[in-house]
């Protein structure tokens, strides 16, 4: 009876996941703003560390 319900919340898509426009990595979090685009954490930290 309750089998109809399984897997409904597992396959939910999260809106901040996608392909990074900088490194073309897929399935990464794109929540770090860089200019007018959102990049992944790797690209963001790499760019901000250049200030040092
Ligand atoms: Zn990236």
Would you call 47 helix, strand, or coil by DSSP?
helix
Residue 40 and residue 20 in contact, taking contact as beta carbons nearer than 8 Å: yes
Ligand 1 centroid from CA 9, angstroms:
27
* Segments making up each domain of the chain, as ranges: 15-51
Q: What secondary structure letter does DSSP report for 51?
A: G
CA atoms within 13 A on the CB side of 10: 3
Ligand 1 centroid from CA 31, angstroms:
11
Quick one: pLDDT at residue 15? 76
Whether residue 39 is predicted with pLDDT greater than 90 in this model: the reply is yes
Helix (H) or strand (E) holding 41: helix 41-48
pLDDT tens digit sequence for 4-36: 766 666 556 667 789 999 999 999 999 999 889
Quick one: pLDDT at residue 46? 81
Quick one: pLDDT at residue 49? 62
């Amino acid at each position: 009876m309750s089998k109809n319900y399984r897997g409904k919340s597992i396959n939910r898509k999260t809106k901040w996941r996608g392909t990074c426009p900088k490194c073309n990595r897929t399935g990464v979090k794109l929540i770090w703003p860089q200019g007018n685009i959102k990049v992944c954490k790797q690209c963001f930290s790499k760019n901000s560390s250049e200030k040092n």
